Amino acid sequence: MARRWLVTGCSTGLGRALVERLAQAGERVVATARRPETLADLADRHPDTVVVQALDVLDPVACAAVVATAAHRFGGVDVLVNNAGYGQCGAVEEVSDGELEAQFATNVFAPWRLTRLVLPLWRAQGGGHAVFVSSVAGAVPFPGLAAYTASKFALEGLAESLAQESVHLGVKVTIVQPGGFSTLYGASAALPRQRVEAYEPVEAPMIAGLRAMHGNPELNPPELFAEAVHRLAGLAEPPLRMPIGEDAGQFLTLALAARTKEFEDVTAARLHVAAA
């Protein structure tokens, strides 16, 4: 049976690939983007199953309208994919209050808002699946991406809290953690208005790597993400976290090992002091 999807950030990259995969599979989807014309071809080819709607995730009224459209057109939402987001470059000292607020408004506050709007539908229908598109940066800090990393850490905290609060309502929650993908994400990452030369040695390689992501054959293709998320929605018991891409697994394994060792070392030191 076809599921009912609401996906944000679909104009390019991972979101666009996901909508294409869902359309091919005969799923019903409300695909949103700030520039809906980028999805016109999909709506034309799948007029009965793909609904395209303009959405600026920072606009509460527009968010409510999109959820209402999904409820009216398809009778509800089975899977919400909070995919819209962007990257703010810059070291902690460089990122201004305004730049930090904008990063969190898009990457954290907007997913929170949309999830809050969809939850009444899920309570009424007895369940649903919230998919939060995080990143390996949700667990692995990268120099020169302080604001982005902080926003993804916060997004994962939101998702984990939701999972505990709503499991009795039949709501499933998954944090997907993509590695490096060949998309326009890196090319569109914003630079801070204030630059501090002292951070250039650690920032420059990171920014250069981001700018080189699009079209890089060594990175994961967006179709891999689309297939993984589509399969995820079909699982009876989806995981709370799902890395996507071989590099994601490698990054996250190293981060977990480092944290585990640090915890063990600190705990052992404290026990030794207590015993002494």
Q: Residue 246 CA to chain centroid, in angstroms?
A: 18
Structure tokens that stand for 160 in this block: 């984990």
SS3 readout for 24-59: HCCCEEEEEECCHHHHHHHHHHCCCCEEEEECCCCC
- Residues noted as catalytic: 134, 148, 152
**Are 176 and 235 contacting, i.e. CB atoms less than 8 angstroms apart?**
no
* Start-end of H helices in the chain: 13-24, 40-45, 60-74, 97-104, 110-125, 146-166, 185-188, 200-211, 222-233, 246-275
Question: CA-to-CA distance for 234 and 240, rounded, in angstroms?
Answer: 14
Question: CA-to-CA distance for 158 and 104, rounded, in angstroms?
Answer: 12
Adjacent-strand bridge partners of 32: 53
